[in-house]
Structure 1
């Protein structure tokens, strides 16, 4: 191995700076650039955002200031953190509502030691409590298996506390061990009347019928799951990598056509940051919605007025300015 030539050898910060300069990046302050590379990593900032500057391979076709690419990365990261915090709020709300309606209708007990049993009528994971669908049993078995693994490995403090100190494990505690993807599958196997309750108490859009709310909710949750997972792992989210779309009728209706058919056909509101913002406006109420509006407006206004090579950061990231008007509309609404 001593003579082996790695194609990505280790480089010191000084060597990284030399490499950047050789690729037509302008470094005005080497010490500050070293701090940025130390805090954020070369890969996250340079490789993550270079495509916004129309490079030719690894080289920039025209000089790019390190401050420009770093400003773009910082503000995009700030937007992502705002979205992530709101997604976590929606995730918690979904867990609360699912556990409420299931506990109300089917009880507070489950035999978490017997993961293969789905026939006990006293168990809230009993198969008869859910839709008669081909994936219902597998979903319930996976949930019970996941829960038992959490208990055996003591992965969740609230679950561990209940198991140690109480004679049953209610669903409102058990859901703390489930991921958003698991909760989406859990929601999908609920009976129609139970879904009605959740959709009507989670989707704050009075212009939609209950059935429309259910359609909107499942499309929205799948998009949020992908953004949540990628943001949480420090990855930049490109909408082209996100599966599924928010249906056009919802985007036009819920934005009062401030995003129109032409915008939607260009990809705006499908599964991009705009769609995530719209979803989070609709799936939050009162204090949470107003806090989200205030926080994200501050970030978007910064993006609007910070320009890089003649373009605002909002424009570079493909975020249309009318999203600010849409957020203001929702901020002024009462649930």
Structure 2
């Protein structure tokens, strides 16, 4: 079916015909000019639709009392939640890069140790070869005399070396996870032991896991968080995301005893998982920012619509308790 061009006023006319209340047409048009009809309406209309009427008419129909402002509030809420989540995922990313660079460099002390295939897991040489090729690509892209490549250029020109702790600054979270996965089990466990021992000391708990369980557990968490990082970085819809790939769904019950039956790969699960990698202070700050944003958003929607959003995010009725670790 063709989708012919519609002016902003025509767009509002269509929305009003679909039972959407628009209190201030001029303001709504300005919002559409800045944000786009598709981004706001197509991206965030779902929980506001009256599905029986939508099926009956073969076209969208909104629940009674739904306003343009309600949809736009959800749009802004999702954007703000993405910004907060990305902020703390980046903290986790920096921490992971630091640990991987430290323990890999401690184990393999030669120059350009990360370009030696013998320093990686020998069970899958194809993966190690691709990893080294990817690292070489990162170096090439960032080794130019000038502002963007000055850091790499300085090390290569003056020291004839580019330490891993410098290289990781230009690696993405996906890059560093790929690097971690390619390391030997012995080196991985050095990283894992620091993560888990810090968590155990912080929260005064003991995680009874074998080294193999720890490795799979942590690796799955990295992959899971990376999915959310990409959602945030590419400004995709966050609040209703559900990770469907079971290989990337970690067993959260191994460290969070209060939510084993509720884990469903939603937003809340990503937040809780970050608690394993962030400092206690950072985790508390993150939870505080999320809580404030949720409280503000609650004032902008009717209670039933607000509850629908929380359910989509994986929250329970006592959502403040969901954030608690042990």
Q: TM-score range by the shorter chain?
A: 0.7 to 0.9
Match of 2:192 in 1: 199
The whole-number CA distance in structure 1 between the counterparts of 2:214 and 2:149 is 32
The whole-number CA distance in structure 1 between the counterparts of 2:174 and 2:216 is 17
Match of 1:142 in 2: 134
Match of 2:311 in 1: 315
| Offset from partner CA, 1:1-44 (integer Å, 9 cap, x none) | xxxxx934443322322222222211110122123223322111
Corresponding residue pairs, total: 304
Match of 2:98 in 1: 96
Match of 1:119 in 2: none
Match of 1:288 in 2: 282
The answer for unaligned runs of 5 or more in structure 2 is: 201-205
Q: Which moved more, 1:234-243 or 1:13-22?
A: 234-243
1:56-135 matches, cutoff 5 A: 56=54, 58-63=59-64, 64-107=66-109, 109-110=111-112, 123-134=113-124, 135=127
| Offset from partner CA, 1:246-265 (integer Å, 9 cap, x none) | 34xx43343322x242x3xx
Tell me the CA shift for residue 228 of structure 1: 1.0
Kept in 1: contact 2:89–2:229 (CA 8 A): yes
Runs of 4+ in 1 over 6 A off after TM superposition: none
Query: In the alignment, is residue 246 of structure 1 matched against residue 236 of structure 2?
Result: no
Task: Tell me the C-alpha RMSD between the 2 structures.
Answer: 2.7
Higher relative contact order (CA 8 A, sep 6+): 2
Match of 2:203 in 1: none
Are residues 124 and 255 of structure 1, via their aligned partners in 2, closer, same or farther at CA, if it must alter by over 3 Å?
A: closer
TM score, norm. by length of structure 1: 0.80
Are residues 138 and 49 of structure 1, via their aligned partners in 2, closer, same or farther at CA, if it must alter by over 3 Å?
A: same
Kept in 1: contact 2:82–2:235 (CA 8 A): no
Tell me the CA shift for residue 309 of structure 1: 6.1
Tell me the CA shift for residue 241 of structure 1: 5.3
Are residues 219 and 28 of structure 1, via their aligned partners in 2, closer, same or farther at CA, if it must alter by over 3 Å?
A: same
Match of 1:272 in 2: 266
Kept in 2: contact 1:216–1:246 (CA 8 A): no
Match of 1:7 in 2: 2
| Offset from partner CA, 1:122-170 (integer Å, 9 cap, x none) | x342111121122222222222233223325975553344345543211
Question: Which SS does the other structure have where 1:282 is aligned?
Answer: coil
TM score, norm. by length of structure 2: 0.82
The answer for unaligned runs of 5 or more in structure 1 is: 1-5, 111-122, 264-268
Are residues 303 and 19 of structure 1, via their aligned partners in 2, closer, same or farther at CA, if it must alter by over 3 Å?
A: same
Q: Which moved more, 1:301-310 or 1:25-34?
A: 301-310
Tell me the CA shift for residue 295 of structure 1: 1.3
Match of 1:169 in 2: 162
| Offset from partner CA, 1:20-76 (integer Å, 9 cap, x none) | 222221111012212322332211111011111235265124342111111122112
| Offset from partner CA, 1:274-311 (integer Å, 9 cap, x none) | 21011111110133222212212222333556543623
Kept in 1: contact 2:20–2:62 (CA 8 A): no
Match of 2:236 in 1: 235
The whole-number CA distance in structure 2 between the counterparts of 1:70 and 1:90 is 30
Match of 2:256 in 1: 255
The whole-number CA distance in structure 2 between the counterparts of 1:294 and 1:309 is 22
